[in-house]
Structure 1
């Protein structure tokens, strides 16, 4: 039953990502996930995997908001999150409480993220959601299909660290479509399909199956 639920959830995400066009402008998304099995983007291409695994440690994090994380072995600290799968790790991160609540509204999504072998997650911090007009945000939060599509647009099935992102230039998202990577050094920007950019405020956050980049705006796909 869990496998069926996960496949149904991801299928709905990919199929309905275009419904977010009201929040975006124009750019054609890339090919959606296959109709059966895990999305093709769940596994890194052989060439990318050979170049870098994208795995990070607590020593690799960067960004002004990293200092807001708990210290030592406290829940939500880098040491505590590192051994945990990404959805579990995020659930204790004080920067991501709104995101975690949104993930919980999509049945099976947290389990799917935890079970994936290697991901890059763009995680909007709490204040990122406050930038969205209240009526638009509430509309998406109350629609599981739209919400699942939006959240899966923030996940790539290839695991990257900061240097890997800069070298790649773009990432392909589980919902379809791409995110452009810009900047240099520790000043990294991510641009969604609608042209709106987000800044990485705490990057290279390690979890057991994903590298997380906390961002200051919600990414929107192309219509």
Structure 2
């Protein structure tokens, strides 16, 4: 039977601020003004280059975790490709999330997730579902009501950056709270599920790929069997 405990598997942008100052004086006249203008233009140019470089660096650092190595480097399932699509469509293009996508389709949640605004999804990787006994997983996939409860528990309100997960409590679409903790590139969800690839951007959501399937009621002592 599937228990209400977490099923564990084996398995921001920085803005460059700069000030512009112009010095004027009676001596030097236009030459001094030209010099200052040239300096300002150079500063602006260097500042823009710095912003581009920092932007590129930040973009490269947005995603973190060992699981990110398995995300395709190109195409619709890559980080860039997923950023162009709403979350359910984006997940369908990522081979790490094929079982989750199957579950979302069985629960008839594709349109719900794609049309949602500003959400964060804790998305179990395929290995997370592999840890559930096949009989129990099949039973869950065939029970749309229970499946919807489980899947909507993985979706919380707001697009949350990694810093928000350091000591976070978020309301899920299922209605119960999901908790997170950690720092840097090491975060857990509901105390056990590990983020294996963090802060994946889609058109309407931030996605954190996790190594466990979360169950509603995980925080309750002595979790009960799911019938």
TM-score, normalisation: structure 1: 0.70
Matches within 5 A, 1:7-156: 23-24=3-4, 59-72=61-74, 74-107=75-108, 109-156=109-156
| Conservation of the 8 A alpha-carbon contact between 1:202 and 1:215 | yes
Q: Show CA shifts across 1:39-94 (max 9, x none).
A: xxxxxxxxxxxxxxxxx95640100010111113x120011110110001000011
Structure 1 moving runs of 4+ over 6 Å: none
Question: Is there any run of 5+ residues in structure 1 with no aligned partner, and where?
Answer: 1-19, 26-55
Query: Is the radius of gyration larger for structure 1 or structure 2?
Result: 2
Q: CA deviation at 1:136?
A: 2.0
Matches within 5 A, 1:201-216: 201-216=196-211
Question: Is there any run of 5+ residues in structure 2 with no aligned partner, and where?
Answer: 6-57, 218-223
| Conservation of the 8 A alpha-carbon contact between 2:165 and 2:187 | no
Q: Distance in 1 between matches of 2:171 and 2:104?
A: 20
Map of 1:171 onto structure 2: 170
Q: Matched residue of 1:212: which SS?
A: strand
Q: Distance in 2 between matches of 1:134 and 1:95?
A: 18
Higher RCO structure, 1 or 2 (CA under 8 Å, sep 6+): 1
Map of 2:31 onto structure 1: none
Q: Distance in 2 between matches of 1:77 and 1:208?
A: 13
Q: CA deviation at 1:134?
A: 2.3
Q: How many residue pairs were aligned? A: 166
Q: Distance in 2 between matches of 1:128 and 1:185?
A: 23
Map of 2:27 onto structure 1: none
Aligned alpha-carbon RMSD (Å) = 1.8
